[in-house]
């Protein structure tokens, strides 16, 4: 039932529809995930405008053959060009190469992900560990921790990989924008 509600929200959010259409044309296996989807739901539930608080749109995919990042950069440029009118920067990440830069950015060495879903499993909060894609008009949702936290406005840490300070920084920003959120401490 919550999957149907999420699909309905996504269908009503024009800029998400545009991103899904472009992503479907560029990738075989991808998800739009994290903040864009989570915050679109929070905006709907809290009566805010669709784009409120959204800083960028994340598209994640998996290509084990591109560890240089050249194709990732090229696809990101293509997506940003096609979607420049949408008003949000598009951040494209090849989850197969996250281990290459993760330690430098977050101070922790990680093993390579084996799939895009494995990467989503490690995202900072259960409510934001969500990916949505559309293939031939059919929506697919990947939500390893379910959708209850998302729809109940609960932000719970996912300690699978992220450090405490990353979670706390994110929830501090989110709480300022959506004071209705029920933040669970680390």
As given in the structure block, the two tokens for residue 30 are 């991808």
Q: What is the pLDDT of residues 135-148, one digit of tens each?
A: 998 999 999 999 99
> CA 97 to CA 111: how far, in whole Å?
10
pLDDT-above-90 percentage for the chain: 82
Strands (E), the chain: 30-33, 57-61, 90-94, 131-135, 138-142, 154-155, 182-183
> 3-class secondary structure for 44-68?
HHHCCCCCCCCCCEEEEECCCCCCC
| Domain-wise residue ranges, the chain | 2-183
In eight-state DSSP terms, residue 125 is B
Q: What is the pLDDT of residues 110-133, one digit of tens each?
A: 999 999 999 999 999 999 999 999
Q: What is the pLDDT of residues 47-74, one digit of tens each?
A: 999 999 999 999 999 999 887 889 899 9
Give 161's pLDDT tier (boundaries 50, 70, 90). confident
> CA 91 to CA 60: how far, in whole Å?
8
Residue 62's pLDDT is 95
């Amino acid at each position: 039932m919550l999957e149907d509600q999420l699909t309905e929200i996504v269908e009503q959010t024009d800029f998400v529809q545009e991103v899904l259409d472009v992503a479907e044309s560029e990738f075989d296996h991808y998800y739009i995930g994290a903040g864009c989807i989570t915050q679109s739901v929070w905006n709907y539930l809290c009566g805010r405008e669709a784009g409120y608080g959204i800083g960028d749109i994340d598209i994640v995919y998996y290509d084990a053959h591109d560890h240089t990042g050249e194709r990732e950069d090229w696809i990101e440029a293509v997506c940003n060009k096609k979607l420049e009118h949408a008003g949000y920067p598009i951040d494209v990440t090849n989850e197969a190469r996250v281990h290459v830069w993760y330690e430098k950015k977050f101070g922790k060495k990680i093993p390579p992900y084996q799939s895009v879903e494995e990467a989503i499993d490690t995202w900072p909060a259960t409510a934001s560990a969500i990916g949505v894609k559309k293939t031939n008009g059919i929506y697919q949702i990947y939500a390893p921790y379910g959708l209850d936290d998302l729809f109940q406005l609960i932000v719970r840490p996912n300690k699978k990989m992220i450090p405490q300070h990353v979670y706390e920084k994110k929830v501090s920003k989110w709480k300022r924008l959506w004071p209705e959120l029920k933040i669970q401490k680390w």
